[in-house]
Structures are given as C-alpha cells and as structure tokens.
Amino acid sequence: MRSFFHFLKTTIVGGVVFLVPIIVLTIILGKAFGISRKIVAPLSALIPVESVAGVGMAKLMAITAIVFFCFLAGLFAKTVFARKIVGWLESTLLSKLPGYSFMKSMGESIAGIEKEQMYEPVLAWIEDAWQIAFLVERIEGGHVAVFIPDAPSPWSGSVFIMTTDRVKPLDIPIASALKCIKSLGAGSNAMLKGKL
C-alpha cells in the first residue's frame, strides 16, 4: 500500500513538473501573439495581400515578429551582460528550486547545447538489479551519490549513496538515457550492448 502511494505521489509530481513548463510556455506565446498581432495590425492593413497560403497577413506578420524577437533575444543571450544576469538569477533564485540544476542539465543535453555532461549516465546496482541512474557527485572514501529517476517521468526519483564498485559508467548522452527511462526501458538492448 505504501509503495502504491509513493508511486501515485511521484507520478503526480512528475506530471506537474512536466506540464508546468508547457503550460507557462503556451501562455507566454499566446500573450506574445496577441500583443504582436495588435502591433502589426496597422502594418498588415497597408499590404495589398490579405493572406498567404490561407494564413492571414496579420497572423503571418505577428508570427514573423515573434520569431524575429526570439532571434534578437538569442543574440542578446550570447552577450557577457546577459550571461552575468542569468548567472546571478541562477545563483540567487533558481538554484534554490528543487531539481532546477538537474532539469537544466537534462534540458541542455536534449537541446544539444551542454558543454559537458553535469550528470554522468551510469548503471547502479540496487536490490539485485541494475538501474539506469545519473552520477551526481564523487565522495571521498570510494563512494558516489547517484540519482535514480522514476519511470516514465525522470524528473523525480531517489538519491542513493553507494560504493563505486556498484556503479558502471554508460558512456552515452543524457538524452539517450532519458529516452530509455521515458519509454519504460524500450531501446535498452541497443543502449546497454556490451555494458552488463
């Protein structure tokens, strides 16, 4: 019964963690589209073409304006000043959110923009079975801290402190390990070939 409630709790928390960014992004893009459409409406009225491929000129110009703004924001994000702002936000606010650094590292890995993997995918020996895990930190005295994610939502799980002989490096990208966890182990044969 206790394991059922643990499963229920972790599944609900995993669902919330998965849905919140999507909902926030949808709301932000919806608001941005509304604002952008109001701004470009007078300009679109001056253009003699009413639609392109069935899309109204005002909508098309609003989408173009949002894409252009995102491009400018991306250029700004590469500046030293922007990196200082993000660094300050992460060190003072975001790092205090539970799981932020894990989610950031996973997101960067999926997007293919990480410089080096913050969390190394490993196999961890727990209760007579190998589990896909992430090595979080090496501890003096031959121990390691590993995060064992839940499936199918890897955003929640458990932290174990164990000896290094119970951990095998996988030498795969984080995105591959996450994909296997989310698909309940499908693809394990190719991912783990020669590693067990």
The domains of the chain, with CATH numbers, are 2-111 (no CATH), 120-192 (2.30.30)
86 neighbors 135 (Cβ within 8 angstroms): no
Structure tokens at 159: 């932290």
* Sequence-ordered list of residues with C-beta below 8 angstroms from that of 191, at least 6 positions apart, any chain: 170, 172, 176, 177, 180
Cis peptide before 152 (omega within 30 of 0): yes
Alpha-helical runs (H) found in the chain:
2-46, 57-77, 80-92, 100-111, 174-182, 188-192
In this prediction, residue 122 carries a pLDDT of: 93
User: Beta strands 143-149 and 129-139: pairing type?
Assistant: antiparallel
Question: pLDDT tens, 132-146?
Answer: 999 989 999 899 999
Instruction: Give the range among 31-35, 88-92, 158-162, 185-189 with minimum mean pLDDT.
Output: 88-92
Residue 80, pLDDT above cutoff 70:
yes
Residue 20, pLDDT above cutoff 80:
no
